[in-house]
Copies of this chain bind each other. A is one copy, B any other.
C-alpha cells in the first residue's frame, strides 16, 4: 500500500548503475543551479531601496545606482574566483571541501555549517518571496502567504524525490521564461522613457528626505543588496551533477549565470530608479514596475508576476539539489548521520531532501511568510562560506607555488579580501536584525558535527579487528546457560521451551511468584511436562517481576567463565491490529533493553502469532 503510493508520487525504483544517466547538460543545468542566483534579483533591489528611501527620499534613486554598481563589481570578483575553484575541484562540495583541504578541518566545518544554514534559508526566503509575487497579483490570497509557501516547498520536495533529471525538465522552461519576460520588461521600460519620452505615472508617493547619505547608510544598503549574490556558489557545488566534460560545462554555466544576473539586477535597479518604485508596500517593486511599464491587469503584468513566482519557488530547488549532496559528502566524512549519505529508490538523497523539507517549512511557519525577516539572516552565511573558500584557494596557491601561482593567488586573494569585508559589513549591519542567530547556529552545528564524527570514530575503533581473524573464532566446546522465564504454562511458553531445549544442556525455567495459588498450579503442570530443565521459583512480595528476573540474570552473568554466554528465551506476541498492542504489557521492551546491557547475554525472541 505504502509502496504503491510511493511509486505513484516519486516514480519507480532505479538501479545503482542508472546513476550516470541522471546528469544534466549546460542547457538544463543552468536553470537548476542558477535559479537561486537569478531569482534573488526579485528581492535585492527592493531590499536596497527599503534602506535608502526612508532616509534619502527622492535622492535614494541616485545612490541606488552606485550601490548596484558596487554589487556587480563584487559579482565579477566572485565569479573569477569561483572559476579557479571549478578548475581545481572537479568533485564539487564547494566551500566545505576547499576550506577543509586547504585551511583545516574546523574552517571546513564552519563553511559547511554556513552553507547548510544558507540552503535552508534559500528555500524559506525564495518560497516566501514567490508567495509574495502571487499575492501581489492576487491580493485576496494575502492572508494565506505562509501556507502557499509551505505548499510550494512540498511540491518541490516531491519533484526532487523523483530524481535529478526529471526535475531539470520540470523546472528548466519557467526559468528561461522568467529571464525572457524580465528582459522584455527592461527593454520596453527603457524604450518608453528614453525613446518615447513618456513620463511614468508614480504609483506611490516617495517620502520626504530625512537625512543625508552617510557611509553607514551606504554600507547598510550595500549589505542588504548583497542578497543578489547568493546562489553563485551553487554551480561549483554541483559539478558532479554535470555531464562530461563536467568542469567545462560548469564554467560555461557560471559565466552565463553572471551575465544574466548582471543584466537583470542592473536592469531592474535602473528601472526602479527611472520609475520611482517604492518598496515595503503590499505589492513588490517588480510588480510596481510591471504595472507602470505594461499597465495594471495587462497580460504582460501577469506573465511577469507568474514567472517571478515560479522562478522564486524554483530557486528553492537549487537548495534541494545541493544541500542533500553536501550532506552526503559530510556523511561520507562521518560528520552527519550516515543515513543522509544513502541514495533512495530514485537515486536522489531522499533523507536529506525530506530533512530540508521539514526544516525549511518550519522556518516559513516561524517567519509567518515574511521575506524581509528571513533576509536579515540570509547573506551572512553565504559570505562566510565565500570568504572561506576564496581564502582556501589563496592558501592553496601560496603553498604550492606552481605555474602562474602569483596571478591565481591574486584573484582568489582579492576575492577573499572583498568577501571578508562584505561579510563583516553584513554581520555588523544585520547583527541585531537576526544575523546573530546565524552566528550562534554555526558553532552549534560545528560542535554537533564534531561529536557525530567522534561517535562514529569510536564505533569504528571498537569494531576494528586487529589480531588474526582465525584466532577470534571460539573453537572449544562451552557450557551454555539457557533461561526461559515463565508466568503461565500455555502454548506460547511451550513454543519457547521447545526452542530452548534445542539450545543447550543447562536449561532453567524461571518463575517469579506473586500469588501462591497460581504458583502451586504452575508447579503441578510443569511436573507433567517431564523434561530435564530445572524450575527455579522466586517470590516477589513487591510484585516487581521484571526486576527479580533482571537481578537473577545479573547474578548468573557475574559467574560466567570465559566465552560462556547466557541465552534468554522470550516469547513475543505478534499482533495484527496496532491498538491491540496497548492491551498487552509493554514492560518486556524495557526488560529487553536492560538485559542487553549485559555483555555476555543473548536474547532469543520466539514469535507467537495470535490466530495460529
Contacts and interface: CB of A to CB of B under 8 A. Distances in A.
Nearest to A18: B541
B452 A465 contact: no
A604 B478 CA distance: 18
Nearest to A582: B337
A599 interface: yes
A465 B468 CA distance: 51
A15 B542 contact: yes
A528 B611 contact: no
A358 to B, nearest CB: 14
A326 B598 CA distance: 41
Nearest to A585: B339
Interface stretch (A108-116, A245-253, A289-297, A484-492): A484-492
A59 interface: no
Contact of A597 (B14, B525, B565, B607): B607
A216 interface: no
B514 A16 contact: yes
A601 interface: yes
B541 A16 contact: yes
A567 to B, nearest CB: 8
B610 A459 contact: yes
Contacts of A574: 596-597
B605 A14 contact: no
Contact of A480 (B17, B469, B491, B502): B502
A444 B354 CA distance: 38
A603 B602 contact: no
A52 B524 CA distance: 70
Contacts of A605: 592, 596, 602-605
A62 B276 CA distance: 80
A132 to B, nearest CB: 36
B585 A572 contact: no
A463 interface: yes
A77 to B, nearest CB: 40
A464 B480 contact: no
A473 interface: yes
Contacts of A542: 13-16, 345
A494 B472 contact: yes
A13 to B, nearest CB: 5
Nearest to A344: B543
A473 B610 CA distance: 20
A521 interface: no
A603 B601 contact: no
9 contacts: A15-B542, A16-B542, A339-B585, A458-B611, A468-B528, A478-B502, A503-B503, A598-B607, A599-B612
Given A16-B543, A472-B491, 18 more contacts: A15-B542, A16-B542, A17-B541, A339-B585, A459-B610, A462-B610, A463-B491, A464-B490, A465-B494, A472-B498, A478-B502, A574-B596, A592-B605, A596-B607, A597-B607, A599-B612, A602-B605, A602-B607
